[in-house]
Amino acid sequence: MPGLSDAFDRIGAALEHHLPVSHAGGIALAVTDREEILGVAVRGFADAASGQSVRPETRFEIGSISKSFAAAVVMQEVEEGRLDLHVSINEILPWLELPEPFGPITLHHLLTHSSGLAIGTEDAPTGWGAAANLRFLPPTFAPGEHFWYSNDGYKLVGLALERVTGVPIHDLIHQRLLAPLGMASSVAAITDEARMDLATGYEPMVYDRPPQLTHPLVPATWLVSNTADGSIVSNAIDMSVYARFLLNRGEGPGGRILSEAAFAQLTSHHMQDRDDPEDPYANYAYGLAVEKPGASPRFIGHTGGMVGYTALLRTLPDEGLGCVVLQNGYGNRSGVAEYALAAVRASLAGDPLPEAAMPRDLEVHPRAGDFAGTYTGDRRTLEIAVEEGDRLRLKVGPLGVVLQQDPLEAPGDAFLVPHGSLDRYLLRFHRDPGGRVVEAFHGDEWFRGEAYHGPEPEPHPAGWEAFPGVYRSNVPWAEVMRIVLRKGRLAQIWPREGEFGGEDELTPLEDGWFAVGATWTPRRIRFDRILDGKAAVAEYNGSRLYRSFES
């Protein structure tokens, strides 16, 4: 099509700008309409060690985009009368014995992330392991009351499908979707065999602190999985086929795979993340994020993340366009997807092409003045000054360093501190109810801003001194956790922002447990095996992390 080659040249240039501010080895991006791929752009390495470049055929793990495949098969089974969306999952899986203290947890709740179940830490990476763990991790709110993303909930969806069909979930997805759609390069299980033809997953080498762009990449931990929450391996070409399946409302190359009614139910708005309503992916259908009610442009899609891989699927049904982004590493996919769709849209309309999207300057903050001032802690004082170009310089004694934003996050109130003596934690600022920055936190230190007029901390309860420290596990999703004691409170800190959250205060509950963050969320931690005055074990949502020698 005339003009599209120029558009994809621009898109390729945007990917070249994108990779240096990502923790990724390579990237593949495709745009399709309802009938065919309009173009593919690839950049970077599928395997840096061998120098193998990313190709359109290069396969990646697509992570949680897989959830929509499982949800589509559920809708097929519902239409056949073999599954009921509104009966307890314990009726479908009689052996499960899932606690239901607030009422029945149904497939509808599992599919919409409103079950109240824990997200899952992958300590038990199999469906059966997650089911066993969930017996001892009761939900913390009534089904349907809140949106709380749960990978383990989708593992139960996969087990339910296996129960009613008698077919392993990866074979079932292949039979019902991958084969009928002609996705011949895709499989629904991550296996050692699949690894032979797969881009190498990458992640920053340094695990115990927020990753910075100066940190080198290393091959990510290899995982084998067939669970329904995120085990599909695919490429940009095949995923464009799936995008067309969504654009064509459930119809594949050989005819209907989902009826119009089933597709409508699959993609209807069922649940909103009321705690983050501005997130474009906060409005949920079944295994798919959908447009905010009344929003424009309308979209259906999902993001995906596995250890060493990230992905994005975005379709615009009203425009008949879809975009797929696959990376072997971590990076903000939304920006390049939006640019690609804008460039293709302009080309199709005969309009001037937008300039290739440039990454933002990580040292520039649009609200830099909010943070300027003096912050006083018990051990030292921080001076924050605004420099030319809306840059923030932190001064701590003789040390001065320009703060940076996390390249994977939108500009916010947390900053990377690019200096070896301060880089283990983000510098986080907190605001008062009026939006004024009044305090800052860095690890176990609390700093009062000049505008802070809040209460002084009360003494912490006796015995809490045993809990702070560094805890490690061999679970690649939860490798390093820090517990700190500050401002009279305990806080949990993960090195990287993500599904577990970055930093949350702990609230003591009964029987020695603590709630992590908001008490309604199904995040619970307790400390066990006090040895020589220190907890040796931290149990977090079914995972065990063990005290390390590090400070």
Judge whether 357 and 16 are in contact, CB under 8 Å: no
Q: What Cα–Cα distance (Å) separates residue 170 from each residue in 45, 133, 153, 162? A: 28, 22, 17, 9
Report whether pLDDT(161) > 50.
yes
Kindly write down the DSSP assignment for every residue of 92-127, as one continuous string.
HSTT-----TTS--BHHHHHTT-S------SSS-SH
The whole-number pLDDT of residue 369 equals 96
Report whether pLDDT(168) > 70.
yes
The whole-number pLDDT of residue 298 equals 83
Report the alpha-carbon distance of residue 109 to residue 537 in Å, rounded. 32
The whole-number pLDDT of residue 207 equals 86
The whole-number pLDDT of residue 263 equals 96
Report whether pLDDT(293) > 80.
no
Residue 248 pLDDT class (50, 70, 90 cuts): very high
Query: Is the backbone of residue 525 left (phi > 0), alpha (psi -120 to 50) or beta?
Result: beta
Max distance between CA atoms of the chain, in angstroms, equals: 73
The whole-number pLDDT of residue 411 equals 83
Question: What average pLDDT does the segment 467-478 reach?
Answer: 93
Cis peptide before 297 (omega within 30 of 0): yes
The whole-number pLDDT of residue 478 equals 86
The whole-number pLDDT of residue 65 equals 98
Reduced to 3 states (helix: H, G, I; strand: E, B; else coil), residue 181 is helix
Nearest partner of 33 among 347, 334, 317, 237, judged by Cα: 317
Nearest partner of 489 among 456, 450, 523, judged by Cα: 456
Nearest partner of 71 among 107, 36, 35, 101, judged by Cα: 107
Report whether pLDDT(98) > 50.
yes
Report whether pLDDT(122) > 90.
no
Residue 291 pLDDT class (50, 70, 90 cuts): confident
The whole-number pLDDT of residue 121 equals 79
Mean pLDDT, rounded, of the chain: 93
Burial (Cβ within 10 Å: 0-12, 13-18, ≥19) of residue 208: middle
pLDDT tens column, 14-58: 999 999 999 999 999 999 999 999 999 999 999 999 999 999 999
Report the alpha-carbon distance of residue 311 to residue 61 in Å, rounded. 8
**Which fold, 464-547?**
Lipocalin (2.40.128)
Report whether pLDDT(278) > 90.
no
DSSP state at residue 194: G
The residues pairing with 254 across neighbouring beta strands, listed in sequence order, are none
Which of 349-358, 363-372, 422-431 is the least confident region? 349-358
Report whether pLDDT(497) > 80.
no
pTM: 0.95
- With a pLDDT cut of 90, the percent of the chain lying above it is 86
Report whether pLDDT(496) > 90.
no
* CATH number corresponding to 368-449: 2.40.128.50
Question: What average pLDDT does the segment 361-374 reach?
Answer: 95
> Strand (E) positions, 236-351?
251-252, 255-256, 271-272, 283-284, 289-290, 300-306, 309-316, 321-330
Report whether pLDDT(83) > 50.
yes
Report the alpha-carbon distance of residue 418 to residue 424 in Å, rounded. 9
In sequence order, the 6+-apart residues with CB closer than 8 A to the CB of 494 are 478, 480, 481, 482, 500, 501, 502, 503
Residue 255 main-chain phi, psi, to 5 deg? 130, -170
Nearest partner of 12 among 475, 498, 451, 357, judged by Cα: 357
The whole-number pLDDT of residue 1 equals 44
Report whether pLDDT(339) > 80.
yes
Reduced to 3 states (helix: H, G, I; strand: E, B; else coil), residue 423 is coil
In sequence order, the 6+-apart residues with CB closer than 8 A to the CB of 341 are 31, 314, 316, 321, 323
Q: Identical fold at 368-449 and 464-547?
A: yes
Report whether pLDDT(280) > 90.
no
| Residue whose token pair is 């991958």 | 178
Report whether pLDDT(269) > 80.
yes
Residue 310 pLDDT class (50, 70, 90 cuts): very high
Residue 413 main-chain phi, psi, to 5 deg? -105, 15
Report whether pLDDT(499) > 60.
no
* Every domain of the chain and the residues it spans: 368-449, 464-547
Question: What average pLDDT does the segment 383-411 reach?
Answer: 93
| Tokens of residue 98, six digits | 């899932």
> Strand (E) positions, 320-474?
321-330, 373-376, 381-387, 391-396, 399-402, 414-415, 427-431, 437-442, 445-449, 469-472
Residue 281 pLDDT class (50, 70, 90 cuts): low
Report whether pLDDT(9) > 80.
yes
pLDDT tens column, 439-460: 999 999 999 999 999 999 999 9
Question: What average pLDDT does the segment 146-171 reach?
Answer: 97
Residue 297 pLDDT class (50, 70, 90 cuts): low
pLDDT tens column, 415-440: 999 999 999 999 999 999 999 999 99
| Tokens of residue 69, six digits | 């495949």
